[in-house]
Amino acid sequence: MTAPAPAGSYEEEPTPAPRPSAAGEPGPRPRAVLAMHRDLPARLIDTHTMARLAALTDIDPAVVLDDFTTAAARQELAGAEVIVSGWGCPPIDADTLAAAPRLRAVVHAAGSVKHHITAACWERGIEVASVAWANALPVAEYTVAAVLGANKRLLRIREDYRARRAPHDWQSAYARAGNYRRTVGIVGASLIGRRVMDLLRPYDLDLLLYDPYVEPAEAVRLGARSVTLDELCAGGDVVSVHAPELPETRHLLDGRRLALMRDDSTLINTSRGSLVDQDALTAELVSGRLNAVIDVTVPEVLPAASPLYDLPNVVLTPHIAGSLGGELHRMAAAAVDEVALWTAGRPFAHPVAKEAISRTA
């Protein structure tokens, strides 16, 4: 399982010694540059974390690159030794690397690095770190809240109570509600999927796992039982999607598999909208047979006429399961922790390997 943040990761720490130079002697602070959407640093990096980054590196917080092809960007890249990237970082390709002869490391303060780390980076030997775990945590927390609420039948009971507005025998009406011995199916042992399973350990739930890359023995270590996807769909009171978006995972949950799901069961999707056949899911939800908690759709913002906005058996959110508001600061703090390790000449706590990129979610 992916390790959590290092112990004491967010505590005040002394400024480390400068990263040794090629000759082995302490050198000046390495030059760093921010590469992300121009408006992101103001939301991502709080004052304390920026002060830590400035103590570790030579950085101009006012310089934020979202285009590596301009003359101003080329001037910044010429001296950059480490890039602190985020959402909106352009691809770091061979042309970019030619303009950045001193670049040695990239620390990504967001999710997957697959959109900007290219083959040229690996060929050059660039060290790469990602704090995707810090963005996975709120997604997993969102999912766990959705699982517990779904099994408690919160949506159904809310609508029932709203309609009745009077005393009722809720115990008899919802005799199967609750989280004791319910079955939760996890589709994909990704970084987020594993974190979800870890957070669900304290509850009296049975976990099923579908992931073709995970052996049954490893699934047991994760607290789950390995099954086929059909078995998972048919056996889960809740089915939660955490597989990566790949050509082979498009419509992984198609109409046939959605039809296998138990009546009144709940589908949770915090991965990508393309993994679920949205037309087939919408039909199931309009019929009232299934429930859903949906954070990702195709297109990302549904047309105003979509029934998913108004269905009483659907929680629809606008792709906010990941870091939101103050949760963004966790990612920035974790990224600076990685920079602190690198400037001290120590290995990254969360390095990224080339072969791991395709399976991040």
Instruction: Give the three-class secondary structure for 299.
Output: coil
Nearest to 328 by CA among 6, 83, 46: 46
Tokens at 273, concatenated:
């909208």
User: 128 has which bridge partners?
Assistant: 106
Residues 258 and 253: their CA atoms lie apart, in Å, by 6
In the DSSP assignment, the letter for residue 253 is: B
Tokens of 262: 């138990």
Q: Which residues pair with 35 in a beta bridge?
A: 65, 85
215 alpha carbon, distance to own chain's centre: 23
The CA distances from residue 79 to 25, 33, 103, 270, in Å, are 20, 9, 8, 39
336: left (phi over 0), alpha (psi -120 to 50) or beta: alpha
Q: If we measure between CA atoms, which residue out of 308, 244, 294 comes closest to residue 142?
A: 294
Return d(Cα 349, Cα 347) in angstroms, integer: 6
Main-chain phi, psi angles of 106, to 5 degrees? -130, 130
Which residues are marked as active site? 272, 300, 319
Angle separating helix axes 132-151 and 154-164, nearest 10 degrees: 50
Phi, psi values for residue 276, rounded to 5°:
-120, 135
Phi and psi at residue 316, to the nearest 5°: -115, 120
Question: Which amino acid makes up residue 230?
Answer: D
Residue type (1 letter), 76: E
Question: Which tokens go with 267?
Answer: 């589908």
Amino acid at 51: A
From the number of C-beta atoms within 10 Å of its C-beta (0-12, 13-18, 19+), residue 160 rates as middle
